[in-house]
Amino acid sequence: MNRQGVAIIGAGPAGLMAAEAAAGSGAAVTVFDHMPSPGRKLLIAGRGGLNLTHSEALERFLDRYGAARVSLEPFIRAFPPEALIAWCEGLGQATFVGSSGRVFPKAMKASPLLRAWLARLAGMGVTLLTRHRWTGFAEDGALRFDTPDGTRLEWPRATVLALGGASWPRLGSDGGWASLLAGCAMVPLRPSNMGFEVSWSDHLRARFAGTPLKRIALTFGGATIRGEAVLAERGIEGGAVYALSAPLRDAIAAQGSATLRIDLRPDVTQGELAHRLGARPGAVSLSNHLRRAGGLSPVAIALVQEALRAGATRDDLATLVKALPVTLTAPFPIARAISSAGGLAWSEVDNRLMLRRHPGIFACGEMLDWEAPTGGYLLQGCFATGRAAGHGAAAYAAG
């Protein structure tokens, strides 16, 4: 590799965007990845529809990053959602805005986009080397890689680390890179956009594990999210749960558990529901009454009965249906999470995303300390920081 070139370590969305930005700035770029092929997590994420970004107003969009907004904002303003959409369409992948405001390629898959992207990078002279695992720095500062042919050393002028977080480790990101950045402050990696453990009864697990809860609303900490969830054998997960996962995770860490409230009939007022459920004929079972008068599905009825067995009162069924308590005891493991929180502390990078302790080394993507809900915010953050780090590395390599 040319000593004046730029090395990108990691071939996910952030790394590939860094490679495109650096090559577009005139740098000779080589991308290294320890997996057999690039973009594996991107491909899996796109199986059900690749959610690239979101169409909402930028101020609201930026608020989705919570405490990390102040750190991410300059990079997202420099490469906002409309720029990402234009970039995607420049690869021949038309986009559309879904009913929820989320933006998708019309192909609804990641594979056509990734193929077009890799072809563009090859045309820009970018070299991709797979099965190259970065193992740290040699004594002279060289990058050291384990390869099928043994150890390989590289001396690039600048390096971009795009090593991901620690979710879905089988796809390439396991968080092991933290030990290779000696002296750098790290925020512990934690699951994000994940489900939670619940001590369901054996009956509920046997009958309803894997069953969706549709058209519900979840409330925690003053925030209410309408959507869907799924009863898992060990707990609860799904889009509405993921939207509240960060405060739920933090509450469990502080208090040992958290109580999530489920509105099983958000389309009906409590007063109307109380009227419907107020007089149950003696010959009608509670299950049939909840089904006929309350309009509850079998899984919703099972949840009400679960709460009653746990000590909830029968005197006010409407309140129970509208705010059913579910005690969450732990987040699902990070390996099952959609994304991760934590990583390299923002204090370790400058406004170009260069490590203060390692001049010429840049970082981007999910390995930085930020998290976001699903809805396009995760990929937007990865693309925007990858672009910034690529430009920074190219400028540094040019001297």
At 204, is the secondary structure helix, strand, or coil?
helix
* Rounded Cα–Cα distance for residues 244 and 326 (Å): 14
**Secondary structure percentages of the chain, helix, strand, coil, to 5:** 40, 25, 35
For the chain, domains (ranges, CATH) are 6-191+339-397 (3.50.50.60), 196-331 (2.40.30.10)
* Rounded Cα–Cα distance for residues 201 and 203 (Å): 5
Can you give the pLDDT at residue 138? 95
Can you give the pLDDT at residue 4? 59
* Rounded Cα–Cα distance for residues 44 and 51 (Å): 12
Of 123, 86, 79, nearest in space to 105 by CA? 86
Residue 105 φ/ψ, nearest 5 degrees: -65, 145
127-129 and 29-32 beta bridge pairing: parallel
Can you give the pLDDT at residue 379? 97
pTM of the model: 0.93
Q: What is the DSSP letter of 56?
A: S
The three-state DSSP-derived secondary structure of 26-45 is CCCEEEECCCCCCCHHHHHH
> What string of DSSP letters covers 363-387?
E-GGGBS----SSSHHHHHHHHHHH
Contacts 24+ apart (CB under 8 A), 172-180: 172/10, 172/12, 172/33, 172/34, 172/35, 172/40, 172/41, 173/12, 173/41, 173/366, 175/334, 175/340, 177/134, 177/367, 178/343, 178/344, 180/134, 180/135, 180/136, 180/137
Q: Are 191 and 341 in contact (CB under 8 A)?
A: yes
Can you give the pLDDT at residue 211? 97
Q: Are 294 and 317 in contact (CB under 8 A)?
A: yes
pLDDT by residue, tens only, the chain of 399 residues: 444 599 999 999 999 999 999 999 999 999 999 999 999 999 988 777 899 999 999 999 999 999 999 999 999 999 999 999 999 999 999 999 998 999 999 998 899 999 999 999 999 999 999 999 999 999 999 999 999 999 999 999 999 999 999 998 888 888 999 999 989 999 999 999 999 999 999 999 999 999 999 999 999 999 999 999 999 999 999 999 999 999 999 999 999 999 999 999 999 999 999 999 887 777 789 999 999 999 999 999 999 999 999 988 888 899 999 999 999 999 999 999 999 999 999 999 999 999 999 999 999 999 999 999 999 999 999 999 999 999 999 999 998
Can you give the pLDDT at residue 173? 87
Residue 50 φ/ψ, nearest 5 degrees: -80, 105
What's the token pair of residue 127?
A: 């070299």
Provide the edge-to-edge strand list for the sheet that holds 6-9.
Answer: 127-129, 29-32, 6-9, 158-161, 361-363
Length of the chain in terms of residues written: 399
Can you give the pLDDT at residue 228? 96
Residue 371 φ/ψ, nearest 5 degrees: -145, 160
- Count of C-beta atoms within a 10 Å radius of residue 132: 23
Q: How far is CA 343 from the centre of its chain?
A: 14
* Rounded Cα–Cα distance for residues 110 and 47 (Å): 7
Can you give the pLDDT at residue 1? 46
